[in-house]
C-alpha cells in the first residue's frame, strides 16, 4: 500500500442503498487481487471492511472504512460507507476524501431510495459518479431493465461503456468543438473520445454504468480497470480552496512538493489502537514522525504512528503524498474536519458539513452515579460520529442525544455500553414550557416575623401586568414608603421567583412588576425580609393575573417529493401544526413551510421517514412561545402539582 505516486492512486467512495453490496464488492475485489483467499460474508462477520465489533454483530456497515485495492500497479483507495440513512454523516465526510463515487445498485431491486440519496449527495458535493450494478448473479435479474430505470430516473448522462452512440452524444455535450463535430456527423478520434469521456465524468455530466457480481466475481477485474482508466486522478482537481493564517483565500494544487495540508475526514475510536484519524493529503507530503500543526486547535501534533489501513490491518507508512489517504494514530488535539499543516505555513481547509440532528432522545444512566462516565463516553462517541450530538438541556436538566434516526442513536447507546460500560435508559423528553400572565393584578406581599430575637419585617405593594420584555421592574414609590435601599432586594426577590412559576414550576416570562407602596420597620426591616415579601407578592400577583402556560413553537422547512405532500400536510394538521406555504424545489418536490408545537414533534423524524419512504427531510428551529391549549395546560399543571406532593 506504500510508495505509490499520486498518478497511480484513485480515491473512490462506495455509496448506495443499504444491502446493495458495497462491503461485499470490496471482498470480491480483494479476492480478485489475491489479498484474501476466500470471500468473506457480512452474515459471517468476516469481511475486511466491516471489522468493527458492532458491524459484525449487526451485519451491516456503521462507520466509514478505507480498503485499498492494488490492481495493475495502481492503488484504488475505496472508501466504504454505510447505506443506512442515519449514517449520512459518514457519506458527507467520505466524499471529501475522494475524486469519484461508485453508487452500487442491487440488480434485483433496481433504483432504491438510497440510490437517489447517493446521487443527490454526489450532486451536493460535486463529486463525479459511477453506477455499479451489482448482484447480477441473482435470479430473474434483468440488467437492461435496471439500466433503463437508472436512465429514466437520473437522465441520459447515465450510460453503459459499451453504448458507443449514447456515449458519443453525452461526450459531445461536454465540449463545444466536439458538439460541432457531432452535429456534422463526424466520428470522434479515440483521443477525442477518451478525453471527452474523462472530462464528462470529471464534471459529473457523464455517469458510466459498470456491471458486476460480487459473489461470483463476474466483471470485478473489468470494473477495477475501468475505475483506473476513468476515475479522475487526485491531480485532476485543479485546485482546492483554503484559507491562510490571515483568513485570506488561497488555492492548493495536489502537489507532493506543495505546502503541507491534510484533511482529517474520519475519526475512529479503536478498542485496541485508541484514536485513529483518517486523513486525505491534499497538498504536500507528510512523513512519519514529523511534527504538524492543527490549524483549528492551534496545537502541534507529532505523527508518532502513521500507517495505511485496509479494514483493521495496518501497514506502516513512512510517508503519504498529496492525493493519498493515510491513517494517523493517537492525535491528541485533532477531530474530524481539521486541517493538519505546518506551523510556519498555516492552512485551513473548509470543514466537513454534517447534517443537523432531526431526532432527539432523552436518556439517563441506568445506574446512579454514572453521569460523568456517561458524559465522557458520549463525548468520545461524538468525535467518532460528528453527526451525533450530545446536548445537556440546562432547563429541563435532561441529557439529549441528537442524531439522524433511531438506528444511529441505538448504535450510540450500544457502543456506550460496550466501549464505556455505561447502560442508559430512555426517558420521556421534557418540554421547556414558560409561564406568563394575560391579566393584571395589584397585590401586597407582607413578611413579618417579630416574635423575640431578630425580627423580620418587609411589606410591599406591587402591580403586575404583561410585558414585551422578559421581565420589567419599576417603582413608583412616593413618600419613602419603601426605602430606596430595599428596592434591589425586592427586584432580586421577584427575579428569583421568575425562575420557577406557580403553575408548573417553569420559567416565567413577559411580566412587568411595579413596586408602588409598602412599609418598613426601622429595626426589623432588611434586604432578606423585603426579598421574602416580594416573593409573597409574586405568588399572589401571578396567580391573580390570569396566568397561562406557553409552549415552544418550531418553524419547520420540510422537503417532500410531490407524491407524499397530501400525507405530510394531513399529518402536520394532526400535530396542531400550521402550513404557512410551499414552494417548488430545484431538484423536484416541494419545500413546505410550517409551524408546530415542539411537544408534537418528538417523533417527527421517524414518522416523516416512514410517510415518505425516507425521501422526505426537514429542518426546524425554535420560532416563539405560544399559549398551551387550556385542556393540555390543565393536565400539565395537574401533573406538576402531583409531582410536588411526592
Ligand X SMILES: Nc1nc2c(ncn2[C@@H]2O[C@H](COP(=O)(O)OP(=O)(O)OP(=O)(O)O)[C@@H](O)[C@H]2O)c(=O)[nH]1
Nearer of residues 24 and 115 to ligand X, judged by Cβ: 24
> Which range binds Mg ion by CB under 5 A, 14-22, 340-348, 533-541, 593-601?
14-22
β-pair partners for 100: 12
User: To the nearest whole angstrom, how small is the minimum distance from the Cβ of residue 209 to ligand X?
Assistant: 15
Query: Which listed option, Mg ion, ligand X, none, makes contact with residue 151 (CB within 5 to 8 Å by class)?
Result: none
**Residue selected from 6, 11, 23, 525 as contacting ligand X according to rule CB under 6 A:** 23
Query: Which listed option, ligand X, Mg ion, none, makes contact with residue 378 (CB within 5 to 8 Å by class)?
Result: none
Query: Which listed option, ligand X, Mg ion, none, makes contact with residue 240 (CB within 5 to 8 Å by class)?
Result: none
Query: Is residue 93 part of the contact set for Mg ion (CB under 5 A)?
Result: no
Q: Where are the beta strands (DSSP E) in 470-574?
A: 471-475, 507-508, 511-519, 547-560
Q: Region of 323 please: left (phi>0), alpha (psi -120 to 50) or beta.
A: left
- Counting Cα atoms < 13 Å in the Cβ hemisphere of 219 gives 17
- Counting Cα atoms < 13 Å in the Cβ hemisphere of 82 gives 23
Contact 623, 557 (CB under 8 A): no
Query: Is residue 198 part of the contact set for Mg ion (CB under 5 A)?
Result: no
* Helices of type H across 125-208: 143-154, 164-172, 176-183, 190-202
Query: Is residue 18 part of the contact set for ligand X (CB under 6 A)?
Result: yes
Contact 67, 311 (CB under 8 A): yes
Q: Round to the nearest angstrom and report the end-to-end CA distance of the chain.
A: 65
Query: Is residue 367 part of the contact set for ligand X (CB under 6 A)?
Result: no
Query: Is residue 89 part of the contact set for ligand X (CB under 6 A)?
Result: no
Q: How would you classify the pairing of strands 158-160 and 207-211?
A: parallel
Query: Is residue 12 part of the contact set for ligand X (CB under 6 A)?
Result: no
Residues 6+ away with beta carbon under 8 Å from 316: 2, 288, 306, 307
Q: For residue 107, which of 59, 144, 154, 78 has the smallest C-alpha distance?
A: 144
Nearer of residues 32 and 582 to ligand X, judged by Cβ: 32
Nearer of residues 23 and 294 to Mg ion, judged by Cβ: 23
For ligand X (CB under 6 A), the number of binding residues is 24
Collapsing DSSP to helix, strand or coil, 239 comes out as: coil
- DSSP H or E run through 12: strand 9-16
Query: Is residue 219 part of the contact set for ligand X (CB under 6 A)?
Result: no
User: To the nearest whole angstrom, how small is the minimum distance from the Cβ of residue 573 to ligand X?
Assistant: 35
d(CA 22, CA 84): 12
User: To the nearest whole angstrom, how small is the minimum distance from the Cβ of residue 216 to ligand X?
Assistant: 7
**Residue selected from 11, 25, 36, 61 as contacting Mg ion according to rule CB under 5 A:** 61
Query: Is residue 535 part of the contact set for Mg ion (CB under 5 A)?
Result: no
Binding to ligand X by CB under 6 A, coded x per residue (else -) over 66-85, reads: ----------------xxx-
Contact 370, 422 (CB under 8 A): yes
- Residues, the chain: 646
Binding to ligand X by CB under 6 A, coded x per residue (else -) over 137-156, reads: xx------------------
Q: For residue 104, which of 146, 148, 59 has the smallest C-alpha distance?
A: 146
Query: Which listed option, ligand X, Mg ion, none, makes contact with residue 43 (CB within 5 to 8 Å by class)?
Result: ligand X
**Residue selected from 23, 65, 334, 398 as contacting Mg ion according to rule CB under 5 A:** 23
Query: Which listed option, Mg ion, ligand X, none, makes contact with residue 404 (CB within 5 to 8 Å by class)?
Result: none
Instruction: Give the CA radius of gyration of the chain.
Output: 32
Query: Which listed option, ligand X, Mg ion, none, makes contact with residue 336 (CB within 5 to 8 Å by class)?
Result: none
Query: Which listed option, Mg ion, ligand X, none, makes contact with residue 134 (CB within 5 to 8 Å by class)?
Result: ligand X
Query: Is residue 502 part of the contact set for ligand X (CB under 6 A)?
Result: no
d(CA 180, CA 531): 87
**Residue selected from 6, 64, 134, 339 as contacting ligand X according to rule CB under 6 A:** 134
Q: Which residues bind ligand X (CB under 6 A)?
A: 16, 18-24, 41-43, 60-61, 82-84, 104, 134-135, 137-138, 213-215
Amino acid at each position: 500500500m506504500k510508495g505509490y505516486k499520486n498518478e497511480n492512486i484513485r480515491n473512490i467512495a462506495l455509496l448506495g442503498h443499504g444491502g446493495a453490496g458495497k462491503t461485499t464488492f470490496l471482498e470480491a475485489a480483494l479476492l480478485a487481487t489475491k489479498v484474501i483467499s476466500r470471500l468473506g460474508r457480512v452474515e459471517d462477520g468476516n469481511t475486511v471492511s466491516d471489522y468493527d465489533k458492532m458491524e459484525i454483530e449487526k451485519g451491516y456497515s456503521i462507520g466509514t472504512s478505507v480498503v485499498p485495492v492494488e490492481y495493475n500497479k495502481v492503488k484504488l483507495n475505496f472508501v466504504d460507507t454505510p447505506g443506512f440513512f442515519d449514517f449520512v454523516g459518514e457519506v458527507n465526510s467520505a466524499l471529501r476524501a475522494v475524486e469519484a463515487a461508485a453508487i452500487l445498485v442491487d440488480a434485483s431491486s433496481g433504483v432504491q431510495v438510497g440510490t437517489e440519496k447517493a446521487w443527490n449527495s454526489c450532486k451536493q458535493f460535486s463529486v463525479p459518479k459511477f453506477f455499479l450494478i451489482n448482484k447480477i448473479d441473482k435470479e430473474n435479474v434483468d440488467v437492461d431493465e435496471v439500466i433503463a430505470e437508472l436512465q429514466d430516473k437520473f437522465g441520459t448522462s447515465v450510460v453503459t461503456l459499451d453504448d458507443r452512440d449514447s456515449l458519443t452524444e453525452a461526450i459531445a455535450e461536454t465540449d463545444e468543438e466536439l458538439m460541432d463535430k457531432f452535429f456534422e456527423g463526424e466520428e470522434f478520434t479515440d483521443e477525442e473520445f477518451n478525453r471527452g469521456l474523462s472530462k464528462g465524468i470529471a464534471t459529473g455530466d457523464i455517469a458510466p454504468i459498470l456491471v458486476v457480481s460480487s459473489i461470483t466475481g463476474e466483471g470485478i477485474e473489468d470494473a477495477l480497470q475501468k475505475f483506473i482508466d476513468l476515475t479522475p486522478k487526485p491531480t485532476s482537481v485543479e485546485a482546492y480552496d483554503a484559507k491562510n493564517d490571515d483568513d485570506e483565500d488561497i488555492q492548493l494544487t495536489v502537489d507532493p512538493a506543495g505546502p503541507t495540508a491534510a484533511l482529517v475526514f474520519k475519526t475512529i475510536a479503536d478498542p485496541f489502537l485508541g484514536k485513529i484519524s483518517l486523513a486525505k493529503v491534499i497538498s504536500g507530503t507528510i512523513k512519519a514522525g514529523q511534527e504538524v500543526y492543527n490549524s483549528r486547535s492551534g496545537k502541534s501534533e507529532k505523527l508518532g504512528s502513521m500507517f495505511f489501513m485496509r479494514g483493521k490491518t495496518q501497514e506502516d507508512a513512512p510517508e503519504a503524498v498529496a492525493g493519498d489517504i493515510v491513517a494517523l494514530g493517537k492525535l491528541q488535539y485533532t477531530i474530524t474536519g481539521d486541517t493538519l499543516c505546518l506551523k510556519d505555513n498555516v492552512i485551513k481547509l473548509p470543514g466537513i458539513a454534517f447534517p443537523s440532528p432531526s431526532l432527539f432522545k432523552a436518556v439517563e444512566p441506568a445506574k446512579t452515579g454514572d453521569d460523568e462516565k456517561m458524559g465522557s463516553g458520549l463525548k468520545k462517541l461524538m468525535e467518532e460520529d460528528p453527526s451525533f450530538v450530545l446536548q445537556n438541556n440546562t432547563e429541563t436538566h435532561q441529557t439529549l442525544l441528537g442524531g439522524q434516526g433511531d438506528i444511529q442513536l441505538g448504535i450510540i447507546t450500544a457502543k456506550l455500553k460496550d466501549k464505556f460500560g455505561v447502560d442508559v435508559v430512555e426517558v420521556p423528553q421534557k418540554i421547556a414550557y414558560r409561564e406568563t400572565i394575560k391579566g393584571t393584578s395589584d397585590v401586597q406581599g407582607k413578611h413579618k416575623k417579630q416574635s423575640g430575637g431578630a425580627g423580620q419585617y418587609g411589606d410591599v405593594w406591587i402591580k403586575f401586568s404583561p410585558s414585551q420584555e422578559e421581565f420589567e421592574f419599576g417603582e413608583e414609590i412616593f413618600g419613602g414608603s419603601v426605602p430606596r435601599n430595599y428596592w434591589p432586594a425586592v427586584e432580586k426577590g421577584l427575579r428569583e421567583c421568575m425562575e420557577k412559576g406557580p403553575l408548573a414550576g417553569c420559567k416565567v416570562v413577559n411580566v412587568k412588576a411595579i413596586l408602588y407602596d409598602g412599609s418598613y420597620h426601622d429595626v426589623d426591616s432588611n434586604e432578606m425580609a423585603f426579598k421574602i415579601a416580594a416573593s409573597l407578592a409574586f405568588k399572589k400577583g401571578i396567580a391573580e393575573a390570569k396566568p397561562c402556560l406557553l409552549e415552544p413553537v418550531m418553524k419547520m422547512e420540510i422537503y417532500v417529493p410531490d407524491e407524499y405532500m397530501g400525507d405530510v400536510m394531513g399529518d402536520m394538521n394532526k400535530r396542531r401544526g400550521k402550513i404557512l406555504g410551499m414552494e417548488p424545489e430545484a431538484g423536484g418536490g416541494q419545500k413546505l413551510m410550517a409551524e408546530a408545537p415542539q411537544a408534537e414533534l418528538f417523533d417527527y423524524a421517524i414518522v416523516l421517514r416512514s410517510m415518505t419512504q425516507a425521501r422526505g427531510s426537514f429542518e426546524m428551529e425554535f420560532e416563539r412561545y405560544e399559549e398551551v391549549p387550556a385542556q393540555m395546560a390543565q393536565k400539565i399543571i395537574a401533573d406538576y402539582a402531583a409531582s410536588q406532593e411526592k
